[in-house]
Amino acid sequence: MAIAVSYWLKSLQNGEPFSEALRGWAPPSERLMLSVGDVSHLDQALENLIRVTEGVKRMIGPIIEATSYPAFLFCLVLLILWAIGVYMVPPMIDAAPNVRWTGVAKTLVDLSEFVQDKWWVLIVFPIVLFTVLILSMPRWKNRYRVYVENVPPWSLYRVFTGVSWLLALAALVKAGTPVSKALRNLTNDASPYVVERVNKALVYITNGDNLGEALYKTKYNFPDKEIIGDLRIYSELDNFALALDQISNEWLNESEQAIATKAAVLNTVAILMVSGIVAWSVWGTFDMQDQLVKAMGMT
């Protein structure tokens, strides 16, 4: 810590602004908000930075909780399918090798053959699926993304990104940065998903629209449809900076509850999926036993 403070003091003595003194010590997004303090009030910039950082941290915990349990249950389903195919079905097939399985029993037999022949799919599939989901969230940016914005995990990413972005925007505008300049600054070090939406809004702002109208005309519903409705109203008022700050803080509080609700839905779906697999395996087992008994009775 002493080395960092010494380096910052030396940079300040050389005439560098505080945000530049922190280069290499703080992320670009945090240095951006502190750069406002170089020309106005550094204490306010630090206060805004702390508020935004704490707001982002408040979002991370609920999101991890919302995704970890469904991901665990998904992996559990794959493990159950593997166990059914390797340990439960083969002994019953061996007991009557000449039986022609039908109905639900045949689906278990097909599963067993698939698992034993292509077991690697159960390992590769979740890895590929999770990789695609993780990569698509910050990179998938075209208009078709809108159609899945209300579906997890993309809905969770939109909420997290939208809240973080609005908190940072409110901090910059409150510190005196013009909206257009703040938007351009926030595209630095941003994901392609955010850059696409902000740049399109900037086109409308350049043509004379306020922030709310610009976000509305993009048709991306970013950061949120209801928030855009509020911004369309408050963007025309004199105290817009204060209103934006209040909207961002209220949305942060509401989003925590929204994420908890989405998590409950995800958990319910995941539990139903596991229950469905178990019910199918039990039904299939009884069907196999019934067909096995009939086959033995005919011999």
pLDDT-derived band at 139 (thresholds 50, 70, 90) equals: very high
Q: Which residue has the higher pLDDT, 29 or 127?
A: 127
**Distance, CA of 257 to CA of 274 (rounded, Å):** 26
User: For residue 213, how many other CB atoms are within 10 A of its CB?
Assistant: 19
Q: Could you give phi then psi for residue 26, rounded to 5 degrees?
A: -140, 150
What's the confidence (pLDDT) of residue 63? Answer: 81
Find the helix or strand (DSSP H, E) in which 229 lies.
helix 225-234
Number of residues in the chain: 299
pLDDT-derived band at 273 (thresholds 50, 70, 90) equals: confident
184: three-class secondary structure by DSSP? helix
Say whether pTM exceeds 0.85.
no
**Distance, CA of 93 to CA of 82 (rounded, Å):** 16
pLDDT of 36 above 50: yes
**Distance, CA of 134 to CA of 176 (rounded, Å):** 36
Q: Which two tokens stand for residue 103?
A: 């109905």
Question: What does the angle CA 169 – CA 209 – CA 255 come to, to the nearest 5 degrees?
Answer: 35
**Distance, CA of 60 to CA of 134 (rounded, Å):** 15
What's the confidence (pLDDT) of residue 132? Answer: 93
Cβ atoms of 256 and 62 closer than 8 Å:
yes
pLDDT of 17 above 60: no
Q: Which of 21-30, 47-56, 89-98, 262-271 has the lowest mean pLDDT?
A: 21-30
pLDDT of 44 above 80: no
- The percentage of the chain sitting over the pLDDT mark of 70, rounded to a whole number, equals 83
pLDDT of 38 above 60: no
pLDDT of 185 above 90: no
80-137 pLDDT, tens digit each: 889 888 888 888 888 777 888 888 888 988 988 898 888 888 889 989 999 999 999 9
In this prediction, residues 220-227 reach a mean pLDDT of: 91
* DSSP secondary structure letter of residue 147: G
Find the helix or strand (DSSP H, E) in which 23 lies.
none
pLDDT of 26 above 70: no
Cβ atoms of 34 and 28 closer than 8 Å:
no
pLDDT of 280 above 80: yes
Q: Which residues pair with 23 in a beta bridge?
A: 26
Cβ atoms of 70 and 265 closer than 8 Å:
no
Q: How far is CA 31 from CA 137, 248, 266, 293, in A?
A: 25, 20, 36, 74
The answer to whether the Cα torsion of 190, 146, 64, 45 is positive or negative is positive
Q: How far is CA 220 from CA 162, 197, 209, in A?
A: 12, 7, 16
Place of tokens 């019910």: 279
Query: Which amino acid type is present at position 47?
Result: E
User: For residue 117, how many other CB atoms are within 10 A of its CB?
Assistant: 10
Average pLDDT, the chain: 82
What's the confidence (pLDDT) of residue 4? Answer: 59
pLDDT-derived band at 163 (thresholds 50, 70, 90) equals: confident
Question: Any idea where the domains of the chain sit in the sequence?
Answer: 2-12+15-39, 45-298
pLDDT of 15 above 80: no
What's the confidence (pLDDT) of residue 203? Answer: 94
pLDDT of 39 above 50: no
